[in-house]
Structures are given as C-alpha cells and as structure tokens.
Amino acid sequence: MDYKLAKQLKDARFPQEMKESYVLPPNTGEEYRHIMRIDYPVRNRNLLASGYELVAKPNLEELIKELGNKLGGISVIYDSDKKGANIEGYHAYESFVESCVEDCCPDSNAEAKTPTEAVAKLYLKLK
C-alpha cells in the first residue's frame, strides 16, 4: 500500500493504531517519508509530540477486521487473454453483493493490483 492510499484511509478515520506506519518528519510535507514499525502508543506519542505525522499502513488482516461483516469476499481477477492464468488483480466486494462487477454496483466493490489495496479501496467506498 502506498502513502497516498494510507493517507486516504486516515482521512476517512481509519484507526491509526497499526504496527506499521508512514512517518513524516515535521515541515517536510510529503516529499520525505519512510515506513517504520512502531510500538504503539508510547513511541507514537513521542513522535507526535515532536511534530511528526504518522499515517498507519494497515495490513490485510487489519483491514478485514475493521470492515467486519461488511466484507463479502475477495476474488482473484485472471488475465484470460494471455497464455496461462496470470493474476491481473483482486476484487473486494460488500457482503450483500456476492460477486458483482464494477459496472453494476460501483459503490459496493473495488479492484486493485493487491488484495490489501482492494480491501482498502472498498473500505473507503463504504465510509
């Protein structure tokens, strides 16, 4: 998951108590950032008091836990035009949708290159 998607989750009030976060030092904007594993909450309080911005980088398990029973499932999108069955991306959908394509209910599903990003995008759509 890149910083931009993690920041969108934070702005949508996704919990920020994750073990891995993007860390932005004070007065650097988005130009300088790195991922840091942090011991929440003690280290976070120290970094925040020093002017750092923290943006959680949730993993797939944390996203699934937060969506709860709203997540209907994750399916694999295969590229059928090429030889073999190469994975092209992942599709996450809301629980009542079963297996809906983007065209019929765009607010209830999301597609991305990784399952983590697909579930994160679904979380944003459902907020």
Q: What are the residue ranges spanned by the domains of the chain?
A: 3-58, 63-126
Query: Token match 């607010």: residue?
Result: 107
Contact 12, 123 (CB under 8 A): yes
Q: What is the pTM of this model?
A: 0.76
7-36 per-residue burial string, b: 16 or more CB within 10 A, e: under 16: bbbbeeebebebebbbbbeeeeeeeebeee
pLDDT of residue 19: 73
pLDDT of residue 99: 47
- The closest alpha carbon to 98, from 72, 69, 68, belongs to 72
% of the chain residues with pLDDT over 70: 71
- Quick: pLDDT tens for 89-125: 999 988 865 545 444 566 788 999 999 999 999 999 9
pLDDT of residue 28: 61
pLDDT of residue 33: 58
Residue type, 71: L
Length of the chain, in residues: 127
